[in-house]
Structure 1
Amino acid sequence: MFTRLFTWRCCGLAALLGLLPVLASAGSWQHEQGTLNLEETPKRVITLNWAATEALLLLGVTPVGVADRDGYKVWVKEPELPEGVANIGTRVAPSLEAIAELKPDLIVTSSEMAPAADLLKRIAPTYVVSIYKEGTRPFEKARDMLTTLGKILDRESRSEAVLNGINQTLKTQRHRLEEAGLTDRPVTLVNFLDDRHVRIYAPNGLFQHALNALGLENAWPHPGNYWGFSVVGLEAIAPFQDSRIVVISPTLPGLADTLASSPFWTYLPPVQREQVYQIEPVWPFGGVYPIKRLATLLTDSLLAGGSDNVR
């Protein structure tokens, strides 16, 4: 499928490739598709997934082009993507022509784009790193990606400061929860897919790092897919009667009214105890920053108190 999506669509692209700058080496880095060799620090970087986009922004580098630019602003939100960044297509099928026209000196992508790696390398040096793969530990992998990109982009001190800031935030939020006595009950983290099914976040996912750091137990004990979640019916969370339900936005229009009239939903013990908490969107497939965002939003929500429904 990817081969078809990434075929050259016009002869003019070959001419564009000939105009791209040749980097003269700041260093060499091993990655999933070989070795990245650079003779100078990249200035014009394109990111083909949101975790990479997030990492660049944390390092103080604004990419010249990103995949699914508008979606980033809805689902990821932070760190904020500045205006004026070019959209180079979707994350599953970016436009090679659009990428080439931006004349990047580095492309950051993941193994999902492996079939297109050779085509991308013809445009610019390409760094392939995947946070979400079978057997990986998402937060550790995301931390390594940020650190390595910090070296590649000559922002090592910035990457260290970012990680130190996240650790300090986690300690602060944990202290707030412990002072309020709110670490006694486990939590269930979900996104609603419809009024009967949720994406539930598992112990092997990115969000587990935030729960561990906050001293909170994940009520859902079962491992998920390598993205760190499972899709289940609401009946699957009914046995976890002592838990608090944390709903991560966005939700479908009209969901609140549907759930309010659902005998099954209103029967759940956390709903009856008014221990349903809804927080703003947090991207579960990102890098290190969603840990900080989730920890802060979750702590604020628990301290504010729950309700018996979603919004």
Structure 2
Amino acid sequence: MIKPISAFAVLGALALALTACGTTDVAASADTDTSAATGVGCADDATTTSTGPVDLTDAFGRTITLDQPAQKVAVLEWQQIEDVLSLCLTPVAVADADGYRTWDTAEELPESVESVGTRQEPNLDTLFATEPDLVIVEAYTRDDAIITQLEKYGVPVLATLGANAEDPIAQMLGTFDLIAEATGRTERADVVKEEFAQHLADAKTDIADSAPAVTDFVYFDGWVDGGNVSLRPFGQGSLVGELGEELGLTNAWTGEVDPAYGLGQTDIEGMTTIGDASLFYTGTVDPDSESFVDAAAQNPAWASIPAVAEDRLAAFPGGIWTFGGPRSAEQIIDAYVAAITK
């Protein structure tokens, strides 16, 4: 089970386990092309990148001033890595490249990009050896330790907010817009956002036309610890949950969730309270944990859940990052359509 690193503090009350993928630093590639068209649709992109000075305010009211849009960016969180790639820019350095490639397949990260350690503890010496003109981070407060550390190097730091359960879709798009502004790629951002909006509208029509017998759902992931199965429902305020509701479905998880990501915590018995709702879960294989679904099937209570008994339990395709940007959101939408209309 993987969860957003920046969510560690806000999710403490839920006592969620933390699993993170580490990486080994590799030598910087001299031929890294920071202008390569790596994102979906970038090969045919005809948008214009601005060249003038940049003066913007980040998610914490900090002013970011650049003589020109950032071209060599280092990125320390997966959603923002995806966003940079969607904007047709290849980062010079990222945190946990191997983990990104496992958990976020919405945009392909070139092998040439420097990996600078884990998301929790990036190797700053390796990061700054790539000579970025902007570092993009995820934080929760203006005085977050990572911002303070990075600012000592004298390189501009764009701090983005990890999530906001009050409006997760708007938050996701707002982060995308910030990065686009910092890199001079607002025209490209508009194209991606329009594609996302059309993707959502088309999928909503597809689901409505299929007239599903059950429209209630719960999306969840989980992990196994000492033989015990812990499940994490994505409730109100989660990006996955809100995308489902935008499609005309109803998120049936009504338990307690955290104020940033909309995530809850329960066990198998707790999942028996969701009524007839269909169950969807992550299909990404965690290399550090056994299958929580296989483990759950060993508990007799699991078979009593209507969705399990009626074969309305479905895995979303592997590699969908449920805390990602517009392209991940499109993957989530496609997964809903495939599961609902099968």
- The TM-score normalised by the length of structure 1 is 0.83
In structure 2, what is the Cα distance between the partners aligned to 1:285 and 1:73?
14
Say which of 43, 62, 68 aligns to 2:96: 68
Contact 2:116/2:122 (<8 A) preserved: yes
The verdict on how the C-alpha distance between 1:275 and 1:43 changes in structure 2, with shifts beyond 3 A counting, is same
Q: Which has the larger helix fraction?
A: 1
Q: Which amino acid aligns with 1:160?
A: D
In structure 1, what is the Cα distance between the partners aligned to 2:174 and 2:126?
29
1:287 paired to 2:339: no
Contact 2:214/2:278 (<8 A) preserved: no
1:301 paired to 2:339: yes
In structure 2, what is the Cα distance between the partners aligned to 1:77 and 1:114?
29
Q: How does 1:80-91 map to 2 (within 5 A)?
A: 80-91=108-119
Contact 1:203/1:223 (<8 A) preserved: no
Runs of 4+ in 1 over 3 A off after TM superposition: 251-261
Match of 1:139 in 2: 169
In structure 2, what is the Cα distance between the partners aligned to 1:302 and 1:250?
19
Match of 1:26 in 2: 53
In structure 1, what is the Cα distance between the partners aligned to 2:223 and 2:188?
37
Deviations 1:54-109 (A, max 9, x none): 11011111101000110001111111212211101111111110111000001011
Q: Which amino acid aligns with 1:98?
A: T
Contact 1:174/1:213 (<8 A) preserved: yes
Match of 1:167 in 2: 197
Once the two structures are overlaid, the 10-residue window that deviates more, 226-235 or 285-294, is: 285-294
Once the two structures are overlaid, the 10-residue window that deviates more, 232-241 or 51-60, is: 232-241
RMSD: 2.1
How far off its partner does 1:255 sit?
A: 5.0
Partner secondary structure for residue 129 of structure 1: strand
Structure 2 residue runs of 5 or longer lacking an equivalent are: 1-51
Match of 2:32 in 1: none
Contact 2:234/2:264 (<8 A) preserved: yes
Contact 1:210/1:292 (<8 A) preserved: no
Contact 2:241/2:251 (<8 A) preserved: yes
Contact 1:131/1:138 (<8 A) preserved: no
Larger Rg: 1
Contact 2:322/2:332 (<8 A) preserved: no
Match of 2:181 in 1: 151
Relative CO higher for 1 or 2, CA cutoff 8 Å, sep ≥ 6? Answer: 2
In structure 2, what is the Cα distance between the partners aligned to 1:289 and 1:228?
20
The verdict on how the C-alpha distance between 1:51 and 1:255 changes in structure 2, with shifts beyond 3 A counting, is closer
- The TM-score normalised by the length of structure 2 is 0.76
Once the two structures are overlaid, the 10-residue window that deviates more, 254-263 or 192-201, is: 254-263
In structure 1, what is the Cα distance between the partners aligned to 2:233 and 2:70?
39
Match of 1:229 in 2: 263
Contact 1:139/1:287 (<8 A) preserved: no
The verdict on how the C-alpha distance between 1:223 and 1:137 changes in structure 2, with shifts beyond 3 A counting, is farther
Match of 1:127 in 2: 158
In structure 1, what is the Cα distance between the partners aligned to 2:134 and 2:117?
17
How far off its partner does 1:148 sit?
A: 2.3
The verdict on how the C-alpha distance between 1:119 and 1:255 changes in structure 2, with shifts beyond 3 A counting, is closer
Say which of 272, 276, 282 aligns to 1:238: 272
Deviations 1:164-193 (A, max 9, x none): 111111111111111111274201101131
Structure 1 residue runs of 5 or longer lacking an equivalent are: 1-24, 305-311
